[in-house]
Chains A and B, each alone.
Chain A
Amino acid sequence: MEHIVIIGNGIAGITAARHIRKLSDKKITIISAETDHFFSRTALMYVYMGHMRWRDIEPYESWFWKKNRLELINAYVETVDTNNKTLHFKKGGSLTYSKLIIATGSVTNTFGWEGLELNGVQGLISKQDLEKLEKNAPNNNVCPRAVIIGGGLIGVEMAEMLRTRKIEVTMLVREDGFWANVLPKQDAKMISRHIVSHGVDLRHNEELDKIIGDRDGNVKSVITKNGEEIPCSVVGITTGVKPNISFLKNSKIETDRGILVNRKLETNIEDVYAIGDCAQQREPISNRPPIEAVWYTGRMMGEALAQTICGNPFEYKPGNWFNSAKFFDIEYQTYGWVFSAERRKDYEAQFHWKCESDLRCITISYNKDNNEFLGINTFGIRMKQEVFDNWLNEKRSLDYVVKSLKQANFDPEFFKRYEREILKEYLSLTETVT
Chain B
Amino acid sequence: MSTVQRNMSLTGEPPKTINTQQKIASFIGLLGLMVLVLAFFNLNFPNKSLWLTASIIAIGGGTVWFSIAAYANKHEGIKNDGVYFKSLTSKGFWAWILGIFLTLFYVLLYWFPQYLGLAQDGNNSGVVALFDPLSQFLNGGPASQWFLYGTLYTLAILAFGIKFLLKYRHNKYEKLRTYSVMFFQLGFAFLIPELMSRLNSDSFSLPYYDLKNIWPLNYYNFEQYRVDSFISAGDIGLGLLIFGVASIFIITPILTYKYGKRWYCSWVCGCGGLAETAGDPFRHLSDKSQMAWKVERWVIHSVLVFVVLMTTAVVYSYLGDDSSKYWLTKNTFLISVAVFLTLVFAGTWIFKRDELKKDAKLGAIGYFVIIISLIGFHYFSGTKLFLFEAETLRQTYGFLIGAVFSGVIGVGFYPIFGSRVWCRFGCPMAAILGFQQRLFSKFRITTNGGQCISCGNCSTYCEMGIDVRAYAQKGENIVRSSCVGCGICSAVCPRGVLKLENGPLEKRISSNEILLGNDVDLMNYVNK
Contacts and interface: CB of A to CB of B under 8 A. Distances in A.
Interface of A: 11, 22, 36, 40, 42-43, 46-59, 61, 130-131, 134-135, 138-140, 164-166, 197-198, 295-296, 299-300, 303-304, 307, 312, 314-320, 322, 324-326, 328-329, 331, 333, 382-386, 389, 410-416
Contacts of A140: 15
B456 A43 contact: yes
7 contacts: A166-B15, A198-B75, A307-B522, A319-B519, A385-B449, A414-B173, A415-B173
A420 to B, nearest CB: 17
Contact of B4 (A54, A58, A303): A54
Interface string B274-289: 0000000000000001
B1 A385 contact: no
Given A40-B453, A324-B451, A316 B519 contact: yes
B105 interface: no
Contacts of B518: 300, 303-304, 317-319
B12 A329 contact: no
Nearest to A37: B1
B1 A55 contact: yes
B331 interface: no
A389 B449 contact: yes
Nearest to B499: A410
A385 B516 contact: yes
Contacts of B459: 56
B500 A50 contact: no
B460 interface: yes
B354 interface: no
B470 A386 contact: no
A50 B75 contact: no
Contacts of B8: 47, 54, 130-131, 134
A382 B446 CA distance: 13
Centre residue among A131, A319, A383 by max chain B CB count within 10 A: A319
B234 interface: no
Given A138-B12, A322-B451, A415-B173, A52 B84 contact: yes
Nearest to A18: B513
A331 B494 contact: yes
B375 interface: no
Nearest to A35: B1
A134 B453 contact: no
A51 to B, nearest CB: 4
B173 A43 contact: no
B77 interface: yes
Interface string B503-528: 00000000001111111111001100
What are the 5 tightest A-B residue pairs by CB atom distance, in nearest-first order? A385-B449, A329-B77, A382-B496, A43-B455, A317-B519
B450 A50 contact: no
Nearest to A23: B526
Interface of B: 1-2, 4-5, 8-9, 11-15, 75-78, 80-86, 170-173, 176, 289-290, 448-451, 453-457, 459-460, 469-470, 473, 487, 490-491, 494-496, 499-501, 513-522, 525-526
A304 B516 contact: no
B524 to A, nearest CB: 12
A294 to B, nearest CB: 9
A54 B170 CA distance: 28
Nearest to B86: A50
A399 B115 CA distance: 73
B522 A303 contact: yes
Contacts, number: 199
A165 B14 contact: yes
Contact of B453 (A58, A295, A331): A295
A50 B517 contact: no
- Overall SS of chain B's interface: loop
A318 B171 CA distance: 34
Contacts of B76: 329
Contact of A139 (B15, B290, B500): B15
Given A51-B83, A61-B290, A413 B500 contact: yes
A50 B84 contact: yes
A135 B11 CA distance: 8
Contacts of A52: 84, 456-457, 460
A54 B5 contact: yes
Given A57-B455, A59-B469, A384-B449, A50 B83 contact: yes
Contacts of A40: 453-456
A164 B517 contact: no
A322 B469 contact: no
A296 B75 contact: no
Contacts of B172: 412, 414-416
A324 B495 contact: yes
B495 A197 contact: no
Given A50-B85, A131-B8, A410 B13 contact: no
Contacts of A46: 455-457
A59 B467 CA distance: 9
A198 B525 CA distance: 47
Contacts of A385: 448-451, 516-517
Given A51-B84, A296-B517, A316-B519, A134 B455 contact: no
Given A55-B1, A138-B11, A197 B75 contact: yes
Contacts of A315: 519
Contact of B491 (A43, A50, A412): A412
Contacts of A326: 494-495
Contact of B456 (A56, A139, A295): A56
Contacts of A59: 454, 456, 469-470, 473
A300 B523 CA distance: 11
Nearest to B521: A317
A319 B173 contact: no
Given A50-B80, A324-B453, A333-B451, 11 more contacts: A42-B455, A50-B85, A54-B8, A303-B522, A318-B518, A322-B451, A325-B495, A331-B495, A385-B517, A412-B491, A414-B172
A391 to B, nearest CB: 13
A322 B496 CA distance: 13
